[in-house]
Amino acid sequence: MKLIAFEVRDDEREIFGQLSAEFGWETELVEEILTLDNAERVRGYDGVTILGHSLLTPEIQDKLMEMGISCCSTRTVGYDHIDVQHARKIGLRICNSDYPPTGVADYTIMLMLMVLRHYKQALWRGQVNDYSLKGLRGRELHDLTIGVVGTGRIGKAVIQNLSGFGSKILAYDVHKDPEVAEKAQYVDLETIYRESDVISLHTPLNDSTLYMINRDTLARMKDGVVLVNCARGELMDVEALIWGIENHKIGALALDVIEGESGIYHRDRRTDILQNKNMAYLRQFPNTVMTQHLAFYTDTAVASMVRCAFEGIASFTSGQPCRTEIK
Among 13, 41, 153, 183, binds ligand NAD (CB under 6 A): 153
What character string, x for contact with ligand NAD (CB under 6 A) and - otherwise, covers 96-125? -----x--x---------------------
Among 19, 154, 169, 170, binds ligand NAD (CB under 6 A): 154
Cβ neighbours for 159, distance < 8 A, ≥ 6 positions apart: 148, 151, 169, 171, 180, 183, 184
Phi, psi of 250 (to 5 degrees): -90, 125
* Footprint on residues 214-253 left by ligand NAD (CB under 6 A): 230-232
Tell me how far apart the alpha carbons of residues 146 and 244 are, in angstroms, rounded to a whole number. 19
Cα–Cα distance, 56 to 82 (Å, whole number): 5
Catalytic status, residue 232: yes
Taking CB under 6 A as the criterion, the residue among 152, 160, 260, 304 binding ligand NAD is 152
- Answer whether 35's CB lies under 8 Å from 54's CB: yes
Instruction: Tell me if 149 contacts ligand NAD by CB under 6 A.
Output: yes
Residues in CB range of 113: below 8 A, 6 or more apart: 119, 141
Whichever of 4 and 302 has its CB closer to ligand NAD, that residue is 302
User: Can you spell out the DSSP letters for 110-128?
Assistant: HHHHHHHTTHHHHHHHHHT
Q: How far is the CB of 137 from ligand NAD (least distance, A)?
A: 29
- Residue 150 in the binding site for ligand NAD (CB under 6 A): yes
CB of 301 to ligand NAD, least distance (A): 8
> Is the dihedral angle over the CA atoms 171, 172, 173, 177 positive or is it negative?
positive
**Given candidates 204, 224, 263, 286, which one binds ligand NAD under the rule CB under 6 A?**
204
Q: Which of 293, 307, 310, 314 binds ligand NAD (CB under 6 A)?
A: 293
When asked if residue 51 is in the footprint of ligand NAD (CB under 6 A), the reply is no
5: part of which helix (H) or strand (E)? strand 2-5
Among 142, 175, 270, 327, binds ligand NAD (CB under 6 A): 175
- Assess 209 for contact with ligand NAD (CB under 6 A): yes
Torsion of CA 174, 175, 180, 183, to 10 degrees: 40
Helices (H), 220-259: 238-246
Cβ contact 309:49 at 8 Å? yes
Is position 310 an interface residue for ligand NAD (rule: CB under 6 A)? no
Q: Does 261 participate in catalysis according to the annotation?
A: yes
In the bound state with ligand NAD, the residue whose beta carbon lies nearer, of 41 and 183, is 183
Among candidate residues 75, 232, 307, 311, the one labeled active-site is 232
7, 12, 259, 261: which is the annotated catalytic residue?
261
Question: Are the beta carbons of 57 and 33 closer than 8 angstroms?
Answer: no
Q: Which residues bind ligand NAD (CB under 6 A)?
A: 77, 101, 104, 149-155, 172-175, 202-206, 208-209, 230-232, 256-257, 293, 295-296
State the catalytic residues: 232, 261, 293
